[in-house]
Structure 1
Amino acid sequence: MLIGYMRVSKADGSQVLDLQNDALVAVGIAVEQLYADRASGERDDRPGLDSCLKALRQGDTLVVWKLDRLGRNLKHLVDVVQGLNGRGVGLKVLTGQGASIDTTTANGRLMFNFFAALAEFERELIVERTMAGLAAARARGRNGGRPYKMTAAKLRLSQAAMGKPETRIAELCAELGVTRQTLYRHVTPTGELRPDGEKLLGRKSKPPRSLSVQENAV
């Protein structure tokens, strides 16, 4: 069975599905087997695509007008098609740069494998650029990664508030804009600094107090 999927980027009526609809119907897809979304391709929530993928069964072929109607990006496209292949479902693209893709044929599968190789190459380039950027930043004395949300001013406010019995941790975290995990990583429930908190304020951790002879003897 042929099942079609269509998408336009805007939901305000300024774009219509007529061209895609006519092209899909022309290749023999029944109107009741057409699924559509009116949303940007970047969005994760596409109920039409979700319903379409659920409706596909082994031996079916998913047909799209152009390749960019289906995937958010190259990686997402490859993931979707590999999922279809694993279920015994084919993909056929009618026009555009991906018109040679028809995974029900040997040549079409070869072309899709080329796209999959490009996706892997793209991922490797991203990793390589990221690692090079981090190395360059470290060489200039900067550490990469996401900055802490906790600041010295927030830490002092949390110290003052944590020892008070009326303090509600959830409300304090919301007011400071930090998570509970971040808060407790810097300060104890009684308001004392933890090592991360001391580091943030530029203090050195106090060495553990050694027991006196009398205390050892107890």
Structure 2
Amino acid sequence: MTESRKRRFGVALLLILLNSFAIIGVIVLGVVAFQQSERAATAEAQAAAESEQRGQDIEALRDQVYELGETPVVASPTPSPSSPPSTRDGRDGEDGQDGQDGQNATPAQVAVAVAEWCAANGNCIGATGRPGTNGNDGRDGQDSVIPGPMGPQGPAGPVCPDGYTASTVWVAIADSADGTFAPQQATICRITSAPSPAPTESGEPTP
């Protein structure tokens, strides 16, 4: 092997070793960074759990102080932003002041509310009650001085008496005996059958 080949082989071997060391260094740095991240996450979770536990212990102590009729002088600690919210319900606060009395509903508002309630619940009709007793008769009213309405027109009566038949003829009439006579239609009753003779005192008809 010549001297130049030896030098080229040495340089190549050196480059391979340097690349191997670089890759190993990157892997080592990645492992270290991952481990540090895991330690930081574990420490943060442990700190949050400890903070929550301390908050629960303080809340328990406050409840015990309230149960003994005392007022705690130490305020509750502010939870860490990274810690999960507490699942314990806090103590109820004191009732606020009563508000002003509202205005009475108007008859129109009551009618609207009743109509809406009836529409939502089907109907507003209760059960049928028992029939009541008959009341006393009222006093007789006074006679009215105003005439009532006209009744319906009755059927037409007979035109002619029995034994006669109505017949339309032409007659000459005038306003006076010396006046001018003029023809005009008129309805007259003509005999259609002889009238029955009147009975005598003996009961027999007169011939």
Alignment TM class, shorter chain as reference: under 0.3
Larger radius of gyration: 2
Structure 2 length normalisation: TM-score? 0.20
Quick one: higher RCO (CA 8 Å, sep 6+), 1 or 2? 1
Structure 1 length normalisation: TM-score? 0.19
